[in-house]
Structure 1
C-alpha cells in the first residue's frame, strides 16, 4: 500500500457529490451465465429432488455421496462436535449465544386486541413461522457467528424447526460451525451448499422439507438462487459487500481507527471502509497507520485492494456535516468515535448498526455484543433493518363484529362497495344490517 492508494476527499470541494457517488457505486454483477446455471439447478432439484442434490453436490463439492442419508446430520452429530472443540472455544460460543439470545428476546412481539364500545373486537395475532432454513458458508471457512446470528432469532421467535445447510467441500466440515449449530438449537443439518441447497430448502426433496424462509450469506450462486426463489419462499436480503463508516473527531487513537477500517477491508476486495473527520492532520496519521498495520495482516493483499478501490478518508467541515454524509451513504456499520456520541444519535437516520463511543469496535458486533450482524448493505439501510425476531414472525389481523358493530360497519361498507361497483360486496355487508 502506497501513500496514494486510498483516496482522499474533501467535503467542501464543488465536485464532492460526484466523487462520493463514484465511490459508493456498486451493483451486483449481472452474470447471465450464473443465472442460467442457477435456473437449471433449481429446475433439476425441483423435479428430481434428492438425486439432483446429490449429483450437484458431488460435482461442485467433490464429494462421493450415494444416498441422501449421507448428507444429513442430526442433533447427536452436532453434540459430538461440541465435545470436540476446546474449552475456550466452547465458552466463547456459549457466551456469544447467550448475549445474542438475550438481546433478541427484547424484540419479541406479542398479540394484542381491543374492544370497541359496541362489542366489536379488533386486534393482531403474532405467530412464528413453522420452518426456516439457514445457509452457512462451509469448507475451510469457519463462520460460527453466522450460525448464531441466523438461528437464534428464529428460535427466540418460536419457529418450530430450524434447518441448516452448510457445504462440505471434499467432505471437510468445521467443528466450530457444527458446535455453534448445537448451541443455537438447530434441529437438522444437511452438508450441502450452493444453489442446490437453496433449491432444496425452497421446494423440498424426499429428505429435506421445504421451508417458509431462507436466511444467511453465500456466494454469487447462492445469492442468485435466493433471488430466484423469492416469492415461493421468503428470504432475508440480497447482501452486498461489507461496509464500515467511521465518524471521528480526531481524538481517538489513530491506530484503533485504522484497524477498524482494516477489519472491514480484509473481508474481500469489494468491502468498503470510509472515515469522516474534521481534522486533516488526524486523517494523515490514520493513513500512515493503515500503511504500517496493513503489512502485518494475513489478508493484507485483499485489504489493500479494498482500500485502494473502495476506501476513502474524507475531510469534513464539522461533525454535523459528517452525519449528513453518513445518512446519504446509509452504511451497514457506523462507528461514532467522538467524545459525546449520544449527541449525534438523534440526527442519525440511516445505518444498519450504530457503534457509539471510542471503545466500541465494530468487530464486537460481529461476534458477541448481542445485536444481529446480518445488516442491510449498499445503501439499503435507508429502508431496511437488521435481521431479527420480527423476520420470523407473522402478523394476522383479528376482526370480530358484534351485532351492533356489524350494523354500523355494514352500512359504511355497503356504501363504499357500491361506490366501487361491487354489488356482491355491498349485499354481503347489507345482510348483517338491522332493518
Structure 2
C-alpha cells in the first residue's frame, strides 16, 4: 500500500536525502496567475467580487459578506453542550501553552547610562483564516484566535467560506466558536479572495487591512499568501498535511497504522510516512494499515493519500539514519515511537510539532494537547515554525544612552562611519559634543 524507499546499506548525502523525500505534486506557483486575478477583482470591486466568487467557487451566494452580530449570537446559542465543553477545555489548554510563548521584556545594561531594552510588541490587527472544504474546523478557530489574543492583538477579523449547506452562512460551529472567543468581526468569504480582502481591505463592509494573515488552506490560499507578502505579513504557505513516524520494533503497529490513517483522512494529497529500522515491523504496520484503510469512513480519500507519491515506507539501517531522513523531510507532524526516545529526540532538528511516545498521537495535538495545530507543511519546518503567540509579536529594541555613554562610544562610531564612507553618521554624534 505504501511505496517503499529502501535506504539500507547506503548513506545518502544531505542533497541526496532532499531529493529522495516524498512530496505531494502541488505547485503553488502554478496557481499564482489565477489567484492574482481573484485578488485584483476583490481590490477593484470589493464586496461584489467576494459575492461573485462565493457563488462561483463555493456554489452559494451569501446574503452579505460580513456576518451579522445576531447570526453569531444564534450560532453560539446553538452549540451542542458537549461541543461547547470540548471547545472550552481546548481553549483553556491552548491559552495556557500560548502564554508560555510570550517572551518577557529584557534590559541589558552595557555601562553607565547605556541601556538596551528588548520588548515584544503585538501587531495591532490580524486576519485569521479558517478553511471549509472537506471538513469543518472549529479547532482551527481556537488555534488561530487564542495565540493572537494572548499576544495582545487588539483587532481580530476572522474569515471562513460560506457553506451551501447552510444557505451561504459560515458554518454555524465555526461561527459559534468565534463568538465564544469574543470575535465579533467575522466574514463569509473563502480562498484567495479572502486573503486578498484581508491584505487590502474592503470598503463598505468595515474590513480594514490587516498586518498579518494566518491560518491553513488549500493551494490557492497558499498562493494568495505568497502574493500579498510585502503588503501584509503571513504565517506560512500552508499546504496538504503530513505525518512522519519514526518507529522501531518496540512500537505498537496498530497505533502507528491508526496515526497514519488519521492524517491521510484530511486530503488525497496528505502525506503518510513511516521510517523504521525493522522490516518485520514494517510488514506488520502495512497489514494493520490495509485493515484500517478498508474500515475507515473516508476510505477512498485515505487510500488515495497512502498510495500517492507523497507517502512512503522508508527502511533504514538504524535510528540515526531515520533522524537524518526525518530532518530532510521536515515533517509538519513527527511521531517518535522507539525504545530510546530521548536519543532520537536529541537528533531532531526540523519538525513542526513532535509527538513522543505511544500515547501522544497527532490527533492529540489537533485538538486537546494545548499545542497549536497550525504548522508548517511541505518541508517548510526546515526553516519555519508553527503558529504561536510569537507569530503575532515583533521584537523591538529600545535604546537609551545618556551623554556620557554616547561620548564613550563616539570614537567607535566615527571610525566605522569613515570606513564606510558615511561621514554624516559620525557627524550626527560629534554634533552633540561640538555645540557652540
Tell me, yes or no, whether TM beats 0.5: yes
User: Residues 28 and 223 of structure 2 are in contact (CA less than 8 Å); yes or no, is this contact kept in structure 1?
Assistant: no
Which deviates the most, 109-118 or 342-351? 109-118
CA distance in 1, matches of 2:18, 2:365: 27
TM-superposed CA distance for 1:296, in Å, is 0.8
State the Cα deviation string for residues 403-424 of structure 1 (Å, max 9, x = none).
1112122221122111111122
**Structure-1-length-normalised TM-score:** 0.91
CA distance in 1, matches of 2:311, 2:133: 29
Change in CA separation of 1:45 and 1:8 when aligned onto 2, cut-off 3 Å? closer
State the Cα deviation string for residues 352-409 of structure 1 (Å, max 9, x = none).
1111111111111111101111112222222211111011011221111111112122
Q: What are the within-5 Å matches in structure 2 for residues 88-167 of structure 1?
A: 88-138=82-132, 141-167=135-161
- SS of 1:72's partner is coil
CA distance in 2, matches of 1:255, 1:269: 22
State the Cα deviation string for residues 312-361 of structure 1 (Å, max 9, x = none).
22232222332222222221111111234223222211111111111111
- Which residue is equivalent to 1:360? 360
CA distance in 2, matches of 1:111, 1:184: 27
User: Residues 408 and 433 of structure 1 are in contact (CA less than 8 Å); yes or no, is this contact kept in structure 2?
Assistant: no
State the Cα deviation string for residues 51-77 of structure 1 (Å, max 9, x = none).
3333333443344456xxx22225553
CA distance in 1, matches of 2:265, 2:52: 34
Matched, 1:21 2:23: no
CA distance in 2, matches of 1:316, 1:114: 48
CA distance in 2, matches of 1:59, 1:308: 32
Among candidates 24, 30, 35, match of residue 32 of structure 2: 35
Among candidates 3, 20, 43, match of residue 7 of structure 1: 3
Q: What are the within-5 Å matches in structure 2 for residues 299-314 of structure 1?
A: 299-309=298-308, 310-314=310-314
Which deviates the most, 41-50 or 7-16? 7-16
Matched, 1:54 2:51: yes
Q: What are the within-5 Å matches in structure 2 for residues 178-197 of structure 1?
A: 178-197=175-194
Which deviates the most, 17-26 or 96-105? 17-26
- Report the aligned-residue RMSD: 2.2
CA distance in 1, matches of 2:59, 2:334: 40
User: Residues 342 and 356 of structure 1 are in contact (CA less than 8 Å); yes or no, is this contact kept in structure 2?
Assistant: no
Among candidates 74, 92, 98, match of residue 80 of structure 1: 74
Which deviates the most, 187-196 or 230-239? 187-196
Matched, 1:44 2:41: yes
TM-superposed CA distance for 1:219, in Å, is 2.3
CA distance in 2, matches of 1:433, 1:203: 47
Which deviates the most, 49-58 or 374-383? 49-58
TM-superposed CA distance for 1:143, in Å, is 0.5
Change in CA separation of 1:27 and 1:290 when aligned onto 2, cut-off 3 Å? closer
- Which residue is equivalent to 1:405? 405
CA distance in 1, matches of 2:138, 2:272: 24
Matched, 1:321 2:317: no
CA distance in 1, matches of 2:212, 2:84: 29
- SS of 1:205's partner is coil
- SS of 1:360's partner is coil
- SS of 1:127's partner is strand
Change in CA separation of 1:11 and 1:139 when aligned onto 2, cut-off 3 Å? closer
Size of the aligned set, in residue pairs, is: 427
- Which residue is equivalent to 2:255? 256
For structure 2, the 5+ residue unaligned runs are: none
Change in CA separation of 1:140 and 1:175 when aligned onto 2, cut-off 3 Å? farther
TM-superposed CA distance for 1:19, in Å, is 8.5
Q: What are the within-5 Å matches in structure 2 for residues 414-429 of structure 1?
A: 414-429=414-429
User: Residues 246 and 337 of structure 1 are in contact (CA less than 8 Å); yes or no, is this contact kept in structure 2?
Assistant: yes
CA distance in 1, matches of 2:35, 2:314: 40
